[in-house]
Amino acid sequence: MAEWLIHVAVVAEPYVVPARDDWLSDRGNSVAIFAPAASGSPPPFDKVAKGRGCVLAVVGGVAVVGVYFPPSWPLADFEGALAEVGEELEDWAVTSGLVILNRGTNNTCVRQQGGSIVDLAFTTPSMARRVQGWKVEVDVETLSDHRYIRFDVSTSAPTTVPVTRSSIEEGPRWVLGRLDRELAEEAAIMEGWVVDAGPPGDVDAGAELLGASLTNVCDASMPRARPLPPRRRVYWWRTELHQLRQTCVAARRCYTRCL
């Protein structure tokens, strides 16, 4: 989190939940919310609610909810049980007025038996318009079966940005040769659920909303042409830490292969 300048994280099955003001867990310590606070700053959480397997807090004006469902199905019937749970979750999201943020087909959990997409993010339609860059970190070692999931959330409502020739040229580009038409159709359907037609409004606002929806469809169905900016190095990072990380990852992989 320090390396990527992450402000808020939801952690499932944490090894330990420190007794600090910037950590908040459910009643069983199976899921937690972590929002690093600067030294001497007030606690970052507001309007806290806890249950067994779920925890809620308002961070920076945004309600963040962490939910953990422990698997109860036998491994032999994993795929069938996963499909059944997926249908139930889809029905629950529709009846609750929520939309899913997951994009693409990268597995969020990878084991020796195979991979699956079991880590899901839901939000309200209005907040979905503020979410950008949802992605699964495929090439990053987590020392876990689960991969990191990252996305940005704006704490303010989307604003209308004047469209100029320079802004068009500097906008995102995608690799059209790797377009997945099936994913594009599915993403377009999902965007149709997110976008609320509502009463006619400002033309510029409508155009911006359409542009955001098209961007989400493109991100879900093909990779961007320009690479993401490199990670920022934090002041305490040292060569010794990099070597220790490589040694730790190599030892874990060796241990996993021996199981």
Quote the CA–CA distance of 177 and 137 in Å, as a whole number: 22
**Residue ranges of the chain with per-residue pLDDT less than 70:** 39-40, 71-86, 155-171, 194-204, 226-236, 256-257, 259
- The DSSP result for 187-246, as a single string, is HHHHHHHHS---S---HHHHHHHHHHHHHHHHHHHS-BSSPPPPPPPPTT--HHHHHHHH
Residue (of 205, 203, 192, 202) closest to 159 by Cα position = 205
Q: What is the pLDDT of residue 111?
A: 82
Q: What is the pLDDT of residue 235?
A: 60
Q: What is the pLDDT of residue 85?
A: 67
Residue (of 79, 100, 78) closest to 89 by Cα position = 100
pLDDT in tens, 101-112: 888 888 998 887
Q: What is the pLDDT of residue 113?
A: 77
Tell me which amino acid residue 214 is: L
Distances (CA, A) of 253 to 18, 86, 108, 241: 28, 30, 18, 18
Burial 14-38 (b: 16+ CB within 10 A, else e): eeebeeeebbbbbeeebbbbbbbee
pLDDT in tens, 152-163: 987 666 554 444
Q: What is the pLDDT of residue 216?
A: 84
Please say whether the beta carbons of 30 and 70 come within 8 A. Answer: yes
Question: Could you give the domains of the chain?
Answer: 1-68 (no CATH), 71-157 (3.60.10.10), 159-228 (no CATH)
